[in-house]
Structure 1
Amino acid sequence: MAKVVVIYHSGYGHTQRFAQSVAQGASAQLIAIDADGNLPEGTWETLAAADAIIFGSPTYMGSVSWQFKKFADASSKPWYTQAWKDKVFGGFTASANVNGDKFSTLHYFMTLAMQHGGIWAGTGIIYNNTKASQRTDINYLASSGGPIAQTPGDAGADEMNTGDLETGRQYGERVAALAAKFRG
């Protein structure tokens, strides 16, 4: 079994709930970046030992939160030694708007993964675009690069869309399966 780590920042609890769904699917260890952008003790060692790393952040102003960016900037030390080269990477994001420029956040994650010499895992989940489609369908928001979630700004994390959460869970399964294949 591949060792998968989900590292994320959550501002209001939505990204945390999404991270929990992704981690459930991947049987992954969750690591939360705190409100000050700090990491728990031992995080860098945990990431070094992982076969796959999945990034998560809310989309704020068309990109990751500053707390996640602080972590990304600090990852220049493992970048310098290529410590994460050939790991499988993935990412997910959530915002209040249907679009909200979430793809900018996913592309940020992809770029970070590529700078580390990683292998990016897309969702691999087909989406529907028929009149019969429902908002609770899996991958209803139609993202191939990584799962995205949308919850109205006045709704709590407990009101997140079940289809979005299931998309995250299935994505976690996919990343873990791909990491296991690459492990040999």
Structure 2
Amino acid sequence: MKISILYSSKTGKTERVAKLIEEGVKRVQGIEVKAMNLNEIDKEFIDDSKGIIFGTPTYYANMSWEMKKWIDESSSFNLEGKLGAAFSTANSIAGGSDIALLAILNHLMVKGMLVYSGGVAFGKPKTHLGYVHINEIVENEDENARIFGERIAKKVSQIF
């Protein structure tokens, strides 16, 4: 079973978090995962994936224009019925990441994807809408990103 992690990253911060999430996904047996910058897409892998995790830096409480463009132009990809999740990076806790995540999740539902956040039922880290990596907070953040990836992979395994 495959999971794709799609992200945009200008400074490398969002890419770094995507790689941490990828490490977490790898904790679950039977899952093949590939993290891909939007500039380096493997269409076949995405189409074969049962889950896709979307990652974006937060700009003015929204996703990056590259992510929005990819979503707008993704009609040739098989997204319907897959499990979708999202993460964002931000420079501060007041950066509007929750709004950026909601924007992505809305688009995923329009594409016919199932949406999963990783939830709060498992305790910390609590991921209400998806994972948010705040650059000014460093304590436990790397492990929290891995836990998010692991939770998404477990849910993909459970559903599919």
TM-score (norm 2): 0.87
Larger radius of gyration: 1
Paired with 2:108 and 2:51, the residues of 1 have a C-alpha distance of 11
Paired with 1:107 and 1:76, the residues of 2 have a C-alpha distance of 20
Contact 2:119 2:127 in 1 (8 A): no
Pick aligned residue for 1:90 from 85, 96, 99: 85
Structure 2 spans left out of the alignment, 5+ residues: 27-32
1:134-177 residue CA offsets vs partner (Å, 9 max, x unmatched): xxxx53xx54111101114xxxxxxx724222221111111111
Instruction: Kindly indicate whether residue 148 of structure 2 is the aligned counterpart of residue 149 of structure 1.
Output: no
Paired letter, 1:52: G
Structure 1 spans left out of the alignment, 5+ residues: 34-38, 129-137, 153-159
Paired with 2:5 and 2:74, the residues of 1 have a C-alpha distance of 15
Paired with 1:162 and 1:88, the residues of 2 have a C-alpha distance of 29
Match of 2:68 in 1: 69
- SS at 1:167's partner residue? helix
Match of 1:11 in 2: 10
Percent identical among aligned pairs is 24
Match of 2:154 in 1: 177
Instruction: Kindly indicate whether residue 145 of structure 2 is the aligned counterpart of residue 168 of structure 1.
Output: yes
Paired with 2:159 and 2:84, the residues of 1 have a C-alpha distance of 12
Paired with 2:151 and 2:127, the residues of 1 have a C-alpha distance of 15
1:3-35 residue CA offsets vs partner (Å, 9 max, x unmatched): 1110001121111111111111112201012xx
1:79-108 residue CA offsets vs partner (Å, 9 max, x unmatched): xxxx32211111100111112110111101
1:126 and 1:85, CA in 2 relative to 1: closer, same or farther beyond 3 A? same
1:108-123 counterparts in 2 under 5 A? Answer: 108-123=103-118
Match of 1:47 in 2: 46
Which shifted more, 112-121 or 69-78?
Answer: 69-78
Number of residue pairs matched? 154
Compute the displacement of 1:121 (Å). Answer: 1.2
Compute the displacement of 1:126 (Å). Answer: 5.6
Contact 1:7 1:53 in 2 (8 A): yes
Q: RMSD of the alignment, in Å?
A: 1.9
Paired letter, 2:59: Y
